[in-house]
Copies of this chain bind each other. A is one copy, B any other.
Amino acid sequence: MKEPLILIVNDDGISAPGIRKLIKIMNDFGKVVVVAPDGPRSGMGHAITIEATIRCDKVIIDKGPQTEYSCSGTPVDCVKLAVNQLLDSKPDLCVSGINHGSNSSINVIYSGTMSAAVEGAIEGIPSIGFSLLDYDHNADFSESEKYIRKITKRVLDNKLDPGVCLNVNIPKTKEGEELNGLKVCRQADANWEEEFEKRTDPKGRPYYWLTGIFVNYDKGTDTDEWALDNHYISVVPVQFDVTAHSSLSSIKSLFDE
């Protein structure tokens, strides 16, 4: 069998420990090409660069068989550039992460990591976003590794439904602690109750910092938040058809003459 071509992207930037770990793991699965932002792009969602130019240069960050490109654009730009400009053939797999911090429930919408995986799916590539629930730059990815290997192998062997990618979130573990396994689940109905911190600059003008508290409204035991709270890895299949199919008839009746 031909060696799989694996595209790696993230939103924390090409030098983040999470993507360095993911590159090491993926080098065991196939030929790896990294196209990642030149610095942090958290919270970029599905942003693309349409009014400005994009830089994308080949770089060597550390030793290994992978090829790497550092890109001035967004995580989604990285996927588009890889597929349409840098690679000779379509990747067999697109993996994004490992994100430093959660992308569960509503965070999937804001996440550059997950938007890159969704863009992979839009391009017809089996795609997975991996996130560890630890914002620390020096997070410990060791317990994550065996699950990332298992999920990657299953997806390479079986592909995914067209138009669907995976949102994988991994609880933070203490040293020696083991996770309970993996749960396939739905996105919880959770949200940020936001507040802004209003400050005044040295010239007396106001400015704002976004802050917020995460609130899970969902009592279901089939959600990603439930799984993570109970020390399971959550796997949510994510689609880019955002039509609210179950509301089509009520909206139709709204506009009946």
Contacts and interface: CB of A to CB of B under 8 A. Distances in A.
Interface of A: 40, 42-51, 53-57, 76-77, 80-81, 83-85, 106, 108-110, 115, 118, 122, 150-151, 154-155, 158, 160-161, 163-164, 166, 182, 184, 186-187, 189, 191, 194-196, 198-199, 205-210, 235-245, 247-248, 250-252, 254-255
Contacts of A42: 50-51
Contacts of A76: 45, 110
Nearest to A150: B255
Nearest to A119: B109
B43 A242 contact: no
A235 B43 CA distance: 28
The 7 closest A-B pairs by CB, nearest first: A45-B46, A239-B244, A237-B244, A45-B45, A237-B247, A43-B50, A186-B243
Contacts of A195: 84-85
B164 A244 contact: yes
Nearest to A250: B161
Nearest to A54: B208
A81 B196 contact: yes
B208 A46 contact: no
| Copies of the chain in the assembly | 2
Contacts of A206: 55-57
A241 B187 contact: yes
Nearest to A161: B247
Contacts of A245: 186
Contacts of A40: 51
B187 A243 contact: yes
A46 B161 contact: no
Contacts of A108: 242
A251 B166 CA distance: 9
23 contacts: A40-B51, A42-B50, A42-B51, A43-B47, A43-B51, A44-B47, A45-B46, A46-B46, A53-B199, A54-B210, A57-B205, A77-B210, A80-B210, A84-B194, A109-B122, A154-B254, A161-B247, A182-B255, A184-B251, A184-B252, A186-B241, A187-B241, A242-B242
Given A53-B207, A55-B207, A235-B255, A242 B244 contact: no
A183 to B, nearest CB: 9
A247 B167 CA distance: 13
A32 to B, nearest CB: 22
B242 A85 contact: no
Contact of A248 (B43, B53, B182, B184): B184
